[in-house]
């Protein structure tokens, strides 16, 4: 049972706590149904706790510690996680269903991102982000500039010394869809090209002529919080998002590996981006 050395924030700490509690339950040889019955919890509560979607009270944690026979030294670690996970943070300037993801991104050690027809928020320039947000049906006009600022901060973090490892795969359509117009797209492509020079960032494009690939119509991000531990898959829609646990992570990792195999190499990707930049000049 471990947690990042830096403060990852309460949302991430709930996820870490839930993963540790699930591991303890499985070590105790209990199914989810058996544990729920023994704890006297309603159907679904244990699942929410283990997925990090519910705060854990000291009383509930004590019940789980007794049932799972968790050793005293590990109990102390879980107690600290539970306390920290109940803290409150200032609300993020994103749709409600994306708040959890933004906190995950901040604490990530690695991100694997697939986006088919646009460049994702984590690497968007201010002008590109503004053009997208102004066409959103869920972002109010009053929130656009604050959301643009937040995306600029996320981009800045990707250039910082403590940036996570980023694997980005985009469809070739992202190089052609003129979000904000030609000049805005050109500046975004220049930003992506420069990011691709960073040692922590890999950018690849799936070309049109690659044909079918592993994730048509599904954009996703695999977030790794702690190396060698299962991550979280984030799949976003217009009004809701799915946060998928380890049963799904393997499948999405297979899909991502397949996408990378179908994509151009990093060098050929940069060459294609440069050609597109010249076309937009």
Q: Write out pLDDT tens, residues 93-102.
A: 566 667 788 8
* Domain assignments of the chain as residue spans, ordered by start: 10-85, 96-279
Is residue 200 within 8 A of residue 235, CB to CB? The reply is no
SS3 assignment, position 171: strand
Helical ranges in the chain per DSSP H: 10-27, 32-39, 45-51, 58-68, 72-85, 99-107, 126-134, 144-158, 182-195, 246-262, 266-279
Q: Which value, in Å, is the radius of gyration of the alpha carbons in the chain?
A: 21
Name the CATH topology of 96-279. Answer: Endonuclease; Chain A (3.30.870)
pLDDT of residue 93: 57
- Is residue 4 over pLDDT 80? no
Answer yes or no: are the C-beta atoms of 256 and 112 closer than 8 Å. Answer: yes
Lowest mean pLDDT among 60-74, 132-146, 170-184, 239-253: 239-253
The SS3 assignment for 243 reads strand
- pLDDT at residue 40 in the model: 94
pLDDT in tens, 28-53: 999 999 999 999 998 799 998 988 88
Q: What is the CATH number of domain 10-85?
A: 1.10.260.40
Q: Do the Cβ atoms of 241 and 234 come closer than 8 Å?
A: yes
> Helix crossing, 32-39 with 58-68: angle to 10°?
120
Q: Taking all residues of the chain, what is their mean pLDDT, rounded to a whole number?
A: 90
């Amino acid at each position: 049972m471990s947690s990042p050395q830096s403060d990852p924030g309460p949302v991430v700490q709930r996820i870490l706590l839930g993963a540790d509690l699930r591991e303890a339950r499985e070590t105790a040889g209990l199914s989810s149904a058996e544990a729920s019955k023994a704890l006297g919890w309603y159907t679904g509560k244990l699942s929410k706790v283990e997925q990090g979607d519910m705060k854990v009270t000291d009383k509930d944690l004590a019940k789980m510690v007794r049932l799972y026979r968790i050793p005293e030294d590990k109990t102390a670690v879980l107690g600290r996680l539970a306390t920290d996970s109940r803290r409150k943070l200032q609300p993020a300037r994103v749709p409600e269903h994306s708040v959890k993801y933004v906190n995950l991104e901040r604490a990530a050690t690695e991100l694997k991102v697939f986006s088919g027809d646009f460049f994702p928020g984590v690497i968007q320039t201010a002008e590109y982000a503004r053009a997208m947000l102004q066409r959103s049906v869920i972002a109010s006009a009053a929130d656009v500039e604050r959301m643009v600022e937040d995306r600029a901060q996320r981009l800045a973090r990707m250039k910082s010394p403590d940036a996570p490892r980023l694997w980005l795969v985009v469809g070739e359509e992202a190089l052609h869809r003129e979000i904000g117009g030609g000049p805005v797209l050109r500046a975004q492509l220049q930003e992506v090209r420069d990011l691709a020079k960073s040692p922590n960032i890999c950018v690849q494009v799936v070309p049109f002529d690659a044909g079918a690939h592993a994730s048509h119509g599904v954009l996703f991000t695999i977030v790794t919080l702690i190396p060698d531990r299962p991550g979280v898959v984030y799949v976003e829609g217009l009004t809701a998002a799915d946060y998928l646990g380890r049963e799904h992570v393997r499948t999405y990792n297979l899909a991502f590996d397949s996408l990378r195999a179908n994509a151009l190499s990093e060098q050929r990707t940069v060459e294609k981006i440069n050609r597109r930049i010249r076309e937009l000049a």
